[in-house]
């Protein structure tokens, strides 16, 4: 698995997004959305996180909050949405129609970050 | 709906590599940037929760999108081959390249953790081949492909094959700018492989069952294997092959030729 790659990409993505504030902000919480179809194992990502941000001034002490997203299929035939605890098939779990749409579960997104201004030496 | 950005679009294919619509929305990180001299005010303004709209693998997706545009401009048809270690990717590609080569200009890059062996095997047909050594990386990423082909003249290539690192999980999340993602499953791997690795099955455009010649000795029920592929991904095209004996190779080559022609005929952009 490539959870370390993913953790490093979260760091790089946030560094890009926060670039204009570099060095002045401290992040306390980083929230990501991970869908069940992403192939990512949340525990492994959690384990990799501190290694990926260890030397980052902004993210070094941030907690990673992983929002796990179950797969949701919209069945066109039933005109209903089904939440799957485990994905096995791109067919409607109710009527078996293949005319379904994945409306959740393929996320691998950065969602938000809690930041505060770095406490500065005012002397 | 595109669950990534809520923009109301959704590609026909569930995997990310058709995500060609623009995800470059402003990222919502619009806290005040007026560098106020009053630190107290600034601190107050800048503390809090910033909403970020960004895919974690966005850098890879962006580069893959660039590659796809370049491949289309130069009319290169790109095939990304993914499977478990040892399912027969190199064997199939070696044969495919040899058979196409008289009339189609083929090239290949192949990713492995270590050794140049696969590049040597693929190079026997005389086509340009590059080995990508990934070290500890369990999949190829778009920048590795871009680096590997950087000094190739794409105008001289009709089909580029990308043999991914043998892995059923990791490659599925990484778009390489390919036109066709092919998943290989060997008859020796058990009929339920597609059910065990649904994510890859979901991102594949075509499934190739390999080592058909071994189905009998290993007592693989090939029909069951094919129906399991269809269970995960209804309607997926399944081709049964033996790269050693030659079964199904004509059908596989026909599919490639048909898709290449379709791409060449499609308007660029
Ligand atoms: N009998 C038989 N053996 C095959 C066939 N295709 C591949 N093999 C054998 O299976 C073994 C693995 O094949 P490769 O082509 O190296 O597999 P691969 O997917 O490229 O492996 P990695 O690159 O290591 O992931 C080799 O010994 C091949 O000779 C086939 O159609 N029939
Ligand atoms: Mg190989
Ligand atoms: Zn991996
Ligand atoms: Zn239904």
Domain assignment present for residue A65? The answer is: yes
Question: Strand B180-186 and strand B77-82: pairing?
Answer: parallel
Which ligand has its closest atom nearest to the C-alpha of A95?
Answer: 4
Alpha-carbon Rg for chain A, nearest whole angstrom, is 19
Q: How many CB pairs (< 8 A) connect A and B?
A: 122
Report the greatest alpha carbon distance in chain A.
70
pLDDT at B7 over 80: no
* Rounded distance between C-alpha atoms, residue A71 and residue B190, angstroms: 26
Whether A121 is covered by a domain: the verdict is: no
**Where would I find the H helices in chain B?**
39-46, 58-73, 89-100, 117-123, 142-148, 193-196, 198-203, 222-232, 249-265
pLDDT score, position B267: 78
What distance in Å separates residue A74's CA from the closest CA in chain B? 11
Q: CB neighbours of B13 closer than 8 A, spacing ≥ 6?
A: B203, B205
CATH number for the domain that contains residue A89: 3.30.2320.80
Q: Which residue in chain B is spatially nearest to A14 when comparing CA positions? A: B52
Model confidence at B125, pLDDT cuts 50, 70, 90, reads confident
Distance from the alpha carbon of residue B4 to the mean position of ligand 4, in angstroms: 24
Residue B183, pLDDT > 70, answer yes
Question: What average pLDDT does chain A have?
Answer: 92
The pLDDT value recorded for residue A20 is 75
Q: Looking at residues A60-72, what average pLDDT do you find?
A: 97
Q: Does any domain span residue A94?
A: yes
Q: Could you tell me if residue A55 is inside a domain?
A: yes
- B21 pLDDT more than 90: no
**Is residue A11 a part of any domain in this protein?**
yes
The tokens describing B86, both together, are 């040892």
Q: What is the pLDDT of residue A118?
A: 82
Q: How far is B209 from chain A (nearest CA, A)?
A: 19
Contact B48 A32 (CB under 8 A): no
Residue A111 lies in a domain: yes
ipTM: 0.92
Of A44-48, A116-120, B8-12, B88-92, least confident by mean pLDDT is B8-12
**Mean pLDDT computed over A44-63:** 96
Mean of all residue pLDDT scores within chain B:
85
A107 touches chain B (CB under 8 A): yes
Q: How many domains does chain A have?
A: 1
Query: Within a domain: residue A123?
Result: no
Per cent of chain A over pLDDT 90 is: 80
Neighbour count for residue A122 (Cβ, 10 Å)? 5
Between B268 and A31, the higher pLDDT residue? A31
A93-123 per-position pLDDT tens digit: 999 999 999 999 999 999 999 999 887 655 4
Position A84 pLDDT exceeds 90: yes
- pLDDT exceeds cutoff 50 at B61: yes
- Classify residue A122: in a domain, yes or no: no
pLDDT top residue among B268 and B207: B207
Q: Does the distance separating the beta carbons of A88 and B231 come in below 8 Å?
A: yes
- pLDDT for the residue B33: 37
Domain of residue A104 covers 2-116
- For a mutational test of ligand 1's pocket, the pick from B80, B82, B86, B187, i.e. the residue with the most ligand atoms closer than 8 A to its C-beta, is B86
Residues in A 36-95 with any Cβ partner in B closer than 8 A: 37-39, 87-91
- Listed in sequence order, the residues at least 6 apart from A45 whose beta carbon sits closer than 8 Å to its beta carbon are A3, A6, A7, A34, A64, A66
Is the model more confident about B20 or about B92? B92
Across the interface, of B47, B60, B173, the residue whose CB is closest to A39 is: B173
Among B69, B67, B87, B64, smallest CA distance to B200 is for B87
Q: Give the pLDDT score at A105.
A: 96
Q: How confident is the model at residue A22 (pLDDT cuts 50, 70, 90)?
A: low
Instruction: Say whether pLDDT at A41 is over 50.
Output: yes
Rounded (to 5) percent helix, strand, coil in chain A: 25, 35, 40
Q: How confident is the model at residue B46 (pLDDT cuts 50, 70, 90)?
A: low
- Can you give the pLDDT at residue A77? 97
Q: Taking CB atoms and an 8 Å cutoff, what residues of chain A touch B33?
A: 20
Q: What is the DSSP string of B40-102?
A: HHHHHHH-EEEEEEEETTHHHHHHHHHHHHHHHHTT-EEEEEE-STTSSHHHHHHHHHHHHTT
- H/E segment holding residue A5: helix A3-17
Which residues of A are less than 8 Å from B134 in CB distance? none
Determine if the pTM surpasses 0.95.
no
Find which of A110, A119, A120, A122 to mutate to test the B interface (most B CBs within 10 Å of its CB). A110
Better-scored residue on pLDDT, B151 or A23: B151
User: Does the structure show a pLDDT above 80 at B167?
Assistant: yes
| pLDDT bracket for residue B40 (50, 70, 90) | very low
Tell me the per-residue pLDDT of B217-227, one tens digit each, with 9 for 90 and over: 999 999 999 99
Asked whether the predicted pLDDT for residue B4 surpasses 60, the reply is no
Ligand 1 pocket: which of B84, B89, B91, B113 to mutate (most atoms <8 Å of CB)? B91
Alpha carbon separation from A71 to A29, A39, B6, B178, B260 (Å, rounded):
25, 12, 16, 26, 34
For the residues A70-78, what does the mean pLDDT come to? 97
Give me the mean pLDDT over the B214-235 stretch.
97
| pLDDT 10s digits, B248-265 | 999 999 999 999 999 989
Order the strands of the A71-75 sheet from edge to edge: A80-84, A71-75, A100-104
pLDDT at B269: 56
């Amino acid at each position: 698995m490539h959870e370390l790659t993913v953790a490093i990409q979260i760091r790089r993505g946030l560094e890009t997004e926060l670039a204009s504030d570099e060095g002045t902000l401290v992040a306390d919480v980083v929230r990501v959305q991970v869908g069940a179809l992403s192939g990512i194992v949340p525990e492994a990502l959690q384990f990799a996180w501190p290694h990926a941000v260890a030397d980052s001034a902004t993210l070094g002490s941030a907690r990673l909050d992983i929002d796990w997203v179950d797969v949701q299929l919209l069945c066109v035939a039933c005109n209903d949405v089904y939440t799957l605890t485990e994905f096995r098939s791109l067919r409607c779990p109710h009527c078996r129609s293949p005319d379904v749409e994945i409306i959740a579960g393929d996320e691998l997104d950065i969602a938000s970050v809690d930041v505060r201004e770095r406490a500065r030496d005012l002397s | 709906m595109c669950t990534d950005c809520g923009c109301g679009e959704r590609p026909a294919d569930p995997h990310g590599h058709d995500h060609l619509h623009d995800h470059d929305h402003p990222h919502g990180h619009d806290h005040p940037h007026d560098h106020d001299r009053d630190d107290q005010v600034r601190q107050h303004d800048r503390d809090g929760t910033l909403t970020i709209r960004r895919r974690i693998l966005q850098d890879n997706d962006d580069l893959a999108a660039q590659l796809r545009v370049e491949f289309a401009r130069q009319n290169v048809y790109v095939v990304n081959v993914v499977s478990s270690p040892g399912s027969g990717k190199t064997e199939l590609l070696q044969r495919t390249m040899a058979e196409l080569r008289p009339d189609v200009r083929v090239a290949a890059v192949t990713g492995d953790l270590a050794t140049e062996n696969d590049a040597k095997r693929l190079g026997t047909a005389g086509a340009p081949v590059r080995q990508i050594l990934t070290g500890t990386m369990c999949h190829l990423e778009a920048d590795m492909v871009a680096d590997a082909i950087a000094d190739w003249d794409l105008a001289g290539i009709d089909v580029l094959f990308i043999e991914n690192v043998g892995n059923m999980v990791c490659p599925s999340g990484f778009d390489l700018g390919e036109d066709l993602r092919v998943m290989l499953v060997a008859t020796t791997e058990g009929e339920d492989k597609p059910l065990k690795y649904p994510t890859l099955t979901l991102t594949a455009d075509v499934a190739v069952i390999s080592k058909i010649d071994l189905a009998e000795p290993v007592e693989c029920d090939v029909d069951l294997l094919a129906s399991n592929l269809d269970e995960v991904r209804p309607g997926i095209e399944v081709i049964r092959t033996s790269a050693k004996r030659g079964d199904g190779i004509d059908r596989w080559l026909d599919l490639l030729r048909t898709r290449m022609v379709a791409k060449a005929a499609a308007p660029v952009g």
